[in-house]
Structures are given as C-alpha cells and as structure tokens.
Amino acid sequence: MGAMRESPGRTCPVSYRYPVDSFAGPAALATDTLWIAGGLYGNRYALAALLEAFETEPGDKALIFNGDFHWFDAEPGEFELIDQAVAGFHALRGNVETEIAAPGEGAGCGCAYPDWVGDQTVGHSNRIMERLRSAALASGRDLGRLAALPMTAVAEVGGERIGIVHGDAESLAGWSFSQEILSTPGGVAHAEREFARTGVRVFASSHTCLPVLLRLPGERALVNNGAAGMPNFRGERYGIATRISVRPYRGALYGTRCAALYVDAIALRYDAAAWERRFLELWPAGSDAHRSYYERIVSGPVFERAA
Ligand SMILES: [Fe+2]
C-alpha cells in the first residue's frame, strides 16, 4: 500500500504547503459581506446562478472563488467562458488551476485523495486533468495568471479576520477540513489548534466536495461550502456558496452566528437540466468524468442533509 500512496493523484506536492505565516499579514480585502464559492467545476449554469445571487446582495460586498473553478470545462470555448468570468473577481487557485498551469511532478490531478477514495476515481481524475490541460492551452487564456493566483487569502469582514483556503490551514489540497476528518475528535482538536495558531475568526474552505459548518469554542467557525457547481446532498440538485456578513440573510440553507458575523450556506439553484445536457455534450457516457461524476450530478452524493 505504501507504493499506492505515491501514485499520481494520491500525493500532496510539497509546493502545495503554505508558508507558516500565511494568515499573519494584512487582509487582502475588507468588506461587509463576503461570498465565497469553491468548486464551481466549470459549471456555467452554477456560475450564472452565483452571479445572479451575488448581484442582489445589497451594500458593500466582495466575491472570491476559492479554487477549482475549472474542471468539467474541458473544451476551449467552455474554458474561456469560465476563466473570463472568474477573472473579474478575487480568486485563489485550487489544485485544478495549479495543475493546469504548472503541473507538479507526479501530482496528477493534485487532489491528494485520501485512502477512502477508490483507485478508479483517482485514475479518472488524472485523465480529466489531461484533457482539461489541453483545452486550457487551446483556449488562448493566460495560464500564467492562473499559476500566479494566491493559495490563501485573509479577508476582513466587519473587522473580523477570515482565512480563505482551498484545502485546509496547511495545504492547498489538505483534507483536514473535510467532513470525514472533522467527524473524529482528533480532527476537531487539530482544527482548534489551527484556529489558535492563525488567529482567524472563521476559516472558509472547499476542495473536499462535501459541506461542513462547524462551530468551535471561542466564537469561531469552520465553513466548507462543498461544491458551488455540483449537488451536495442526496436528491437535491443545487450548488452551495458560503456567505459571511455583518448582515443576516433571508433564505439561507443553514447558518450560524459567529461573534458579530452571520455565516450562511446559500443554495445556488442553477438550471440542473441544462447543466446535465451540457455535461453530457462535454463528457458523454463512458468518458472519465461521466463515470466518476454523472451519478452525483443527477442524484447528488450519498450524503443526507442533517435535519
Ligand atoms: Fe480541490
């Protein structure tokens, strides 16, 4: 099994680790309301739903894409559409953008998949990445811009420091902020130490594909939006974005208060039928993305929403 863990798609490249002082500097932006959308995965309909929802937000606001905005958009025109739209906002690079622009030695898709994700899925992901990279090159978009995006950001919302990451507090593709790890006492203790070390009020992450909202002692919270561009709950076909604000929000899926902040999960109710048709054009039956993701795109993950 030791050899298996070194395979492409399993490893976490050293370059994915952030400098230890990543969350110590001045905030990159300050706002009253911050929307955070990780895991758009090249879903143009989820993008439209996100921008429409963000548009209706009143007052001082900002939107940040915290990585993996590309993935299924493995066709030059589709890639261009997504890349151009995201370029108008703040963005972090996820493992997908990092591997498109500057493929790491042996990283494959850069997902650093843990043991509970099967070998077949890892193989599909590596091949999706190869096709996406070709589309990105053919699109004529500036891939150097993607490579130069930061891995982390600190934003100030209502004067509170928010740590924005793609993976976890240490690495671009870390899984410490996954539902699986945070369901263990050791995982929660580790998260608490990361809050103490970095001093942030809220960590907002993505990458692990399933949503999390965890309150921690000392008025801190960890929020993982799951995916903006894929279903997150069994039988429910919408993406999720995170909203952190000094103001409450009507119609959030679920949320919590954290000091003076409102931390909410917002449903991105995109045109699921249109996306399914587009997905099938890009990734027909038998293709790598179809094998790994079609079931989730149609029916959601095997994961029920807690009441
Ligand atoms: Fe990711």
Q: What's the pLDDT tens digit per position in 44-54?
A: 999 999 999 99
CA angle 9-15-18, nearest 5°? 115
More confident residue, 229 or 116: 229
CA of 227 to the centre of ligand 1 (A): 10
Cα of 66 vs centre of ligand 1, distance in Å, is: 9
> Ligand 1 mean position to 72 CA, how many Å?
13
Whether 12 has a pLDDT exceeding 80, the answer reads no
pLDDT in tens, 164-184: 999 999 999 999 999 999 999
Coil, helix or strand at residue 97: helix
Whether pLDDT at 104 is above 70: no
102 pLDDT above the threshold of 80: no
Tell me the CA–centroid distance for residue 154 and ligand 1, in Å: 19
Domain ranges within the chain, ordered by starting residue: 2-299
- How many Å lie between the centroid of ligand 1 and the Cα of residue 183? 20
What's the CA-to-centroid distance between 285 and ligand 1, angstroms? 24
CA distances from 94 to 33, 134, 284, 307 (A): 22, 18, 25, 31
Structure tokens at 304: 């029920």
The residues pairing with 164 across neighbouring beta strands, listed in sequence order, are 153, 204
Task: State the angle between helix axes of 44-55 and 272-282 in degrees (0 to 180), rounded to the nearest 10.
Answer: 150
Q: How far, in Å, from the CA of 172 to the mean position of ligand 1?
A: 8
Cα–Cα distances in Å, from 79 out to 64, 160, 256, 261? Answer: 18, 35, 35, 35
**What average pLDDT does range 149-177 have in this prediction?**
96
Mean pLDDT of 19-40: 96
- Alpha carbon of 98 to ligand 1 centroid (Å): 10
CB 64 within 8 A of CB 34: yes
Residue 262 pLDDT > 50, yes or no?
yes
Task: Please provide the distance, in angstroms rounded to a whole number, between the alpha carbons at the two ends of the chain.
Answer: 38
Q: How far is the CA of 69 from the centre of ligand 1 (A)?
A: 9
pLDDT for position 106? 61
**Residues of the chain with pLDDT > 70: what percent?**
93
Residue 307 has pLDDT above 50, yes or no: no
Asked whether 219 and 259 are in contact (CB, 8 A), the reply is yes
What is the CA(209)–ligand 1 centre distance, in A? 8
Give the pLDDT of residue 11.
66
CA of 169 from ligand 1 middle (Å) equals 14
Q: What is the mean pLDDT of residues 64-76?
A: 98
Q: How many A from CA of 59 to the centre of ligand 1?
A: 31
> What is the mean pLDDT of the segment spanning 100-118?
72
How many A from CA of 224 to the centre of ligand 1? 12
pLDDT at 208: 87
What residues are neighbours of ligand 1 (ion), with CB under 5 Å? 68, 94-95, 207
Q: Is the pLDDT of residue 246 over 90?
A: yes
Residue 126 Cα, ligand 1 centroid: separation in angstroms?
A: 13
Distance 166 CA to ligand 1 centre (A): 7
**Which DSSP string do the residues of 141-209 spell out, in sequence order?**
--HHHHHTS-SEEEEEETTEEEEEESS-SSBTT--TTSHHHHTSHHHHHHHHHHHHHH--SEEEE-SSS
Residue 227 confidence (pLDDT): 96
From ligand 1's centre to the CA of 43, what distance in Å? 15
Work out the percent of the chain whose per-residue pLDDT is above 90.
81
Q: What spacing in Å lies between the alpha carbon of 9 and ligand 1's midpoint?
A: 11
Instruction: Kindly indicate the confidence band of residue 260, based on its pLDDT and cuts at 50, 70 and 90.
Output: very high
* Cross-strand partners of 205: 224
- Give the span between the Cα atoms of 241 and 56, in whole angstroms: 14
The residue with greater pLDDT, 143 or 117, is 143
H/E element, 220: strand 220-224
- Residues 11 and 3: their CA atoms lie apart, in Å, by 11
What pLDDT is stored for residue 18 in this prediction? 93
At the fourth CATH level, which superfamily is domain 2-299? Answer: Metallo-dependent phosphatases (3.60.21.10)
C-alpha 108 to ligand 1 mean position (Å): 12
Q: Does residue 261 carry a pLDDT above 50?
A: yes
| Mean pLDDT for the chain overall | 92
* CA–centroid distance, residue 70 to ligand 1 (Å): 10
pLDDT one-digit tens code per residue, 184-226: 999 999 999 999 999 999 999 999 888 999 999 999 999 999 9
pLDDT reported for residue 2? 32
pLDDT of 110 reads 72
Rg of the chain taking only CA atoms, in angstroms: 18
Taking the centre of ligand 1 as the mean of its atom positions, its distance from the CA of residue 257, in whole angstroms, is: 27
